Each structure stands twice: as C-alpha cells, then as structure tokens.
Amino acid sequence: MSNIANNLQNILSELNSDVTLVAVSKTKPNADIQEAYDAGQRHFGENKVQEMVDKWESLPKDIHWHMIGHVQTNKIKYMAPFVHLIHGCDREKVLKMVNKEAAKNDRTIDVLLQVHIAEESSKFGFDEAELLELIESGRWSEYENVRIRGLMGMATFTDDQDQIKREFATLKTLFDKISKSFGDAFDTLSMGMSGDYPIALEAGSNMVRVGSAIFGARNYDA
C-alpha cells in the first residue's frame, strides 16, 4: 500500500463514522490526490481558488471540493459552479457574494461561518458578537442561495495543548449555543488539522481538515 493510502487508513481508524475527513491537498500534485481517491477518499480541501479549479477540471468529477482558505470575493465566481463547502466565510460580504454567484449558477452553496477563536490576532473570522448580531437581525436568512451548515475555526499555532483545548471548547460551546438559530441544516463543526485533530475530536469536532499527516510536509506553505 502507498504511503498516502496508509496514512489515510490510519487517520480514518481514529475517526467515528460521523466525522468527515477533508484531505487537504493544497500545493500537492494531482497524482497524490488520485492516489488518495483510489484509496476511497472523496473530500479534498484547497485554499486557493485557481488551484482548486485546475484540479477540479482534471480530476474525477465525484470529488467533493472544500474551500478552506481565506475567500477573496472576486474569485467566488470561479468556484461557484462546483464547490461543495466553503469553510472560510469570515465576513458578511462573503455570504452576500456567495449568494449572488450561487443564484447565477442556479444552486444553493453550503458554507461554514469561520469564527475567530485563536488568542493570537492574525486569524480571520467572525467573533461571537458579530454572529449573534447576524442571527438577531435575521439577515442570514435573506441569503436564499446560501445554506449555513455550521462553524469553522482554527486554534492558535502553539505547543500549549491546554490553550488549544480551551479554544476548541470555546467554539464548541458557541456552536451548541447558536445551532438552533440557523435551522436544521446547521450540523457541521469543522475544527482540527494534522497537529491538533485528536484534541479537536475530543472537543466535539465532526469535520477535520488534515493535510501533511496524509500527504507529507508541504514544500512551501501556501
């Protein structure tokens, strides 16, 4: 068995059946993705729209493509025809533009609202007050071609396990608190990467985004 297939199998053996594994393939060649695909993997994550479009065009059409990176609103139109789930909706302008491009493509696009949980200040996302305001105003429901499926968050990049635990717990608490407000489709909590997914699972994640633990280290970080 190839390394990639082996790594996938090892990670999948740690996941309950209700957890979705998104294999993060950014910067990796199509051959690596095909290898994971041949081992049964169908969910892949990319953080650059153009790279995801190129891969979508040349790889099997039953792959579910996840946009996990920061979303530039002028690029949404390129992924709107096919993207499976946009994790990085980190401001209302993104919701608005996804709605517009989804309507043009006659589809409803699933999204996650990215929440700022890291104690470090560089990460994107809504904070709790902004989310509560979005709910209370009812504006979220006016984006009729967008379906809000849940929340996404990234913990601080640190060796401090307690801090990571704390940040994931904060997101889980928020998820539970607001889950009723966004309707029945709100069921996805995307948290956990190669370095911290076991902690995320313990905290209640049901979608993990794992790259280097499957495909090996990236040459450059995109």
Ligand X SMILES: *Cc1c(COP(=O)(O)O)cnc(C)c1O
Binding site for ligand X (CB under 6 A): 24, 26, 47, 68-69, 154, 193-195, 209-213
Q: Alpha-carbon distance 56 to 181, whole Å?
A: 34
Q: Which two tokens stand for residue 189?
A: 């909590």
Between 123 and 172, CB nearer to ligand X:
123
CA 174 from centre of chain: 17
From residue 183, alpha-carbon distances to 48, 126, 148 in Å are 30, 19, 9
Closest-CB residue for ligand X? Answer: 211
Report in angstroms the alpha-carbon separations of 192 from 2, 15, 88, 119, 214: 24, 12, 14, 16, 14
3-state SS, residue 188: strand
Cβ distance to ligand X smaller for residue 141 or 212: 212
**Of 31 and 217, CB closest to ligand X:** 217
HSE-up of residue 115 (Cα within 13 Å, Cβ side): 26
State the minimum distance, in angstroms, from the CB of residue 111 to ligand X. Answer: 14
CA distance 36 to 2: 9
Closer Cβ to ligand X, 139 or 222, answer by number? 222
Nearer to ligand X, 80 or 193 (CB): 193
The least distance separating ligand X from the CB of residue 142, rounded to whole angstroms, comes to 27
Residue with Cβ nearer ligand X (41 or 47): 47
Element (H, E) at 216: none
CA distance 117 to 206: 17
The tokens describing 113, both together, are 């609202």
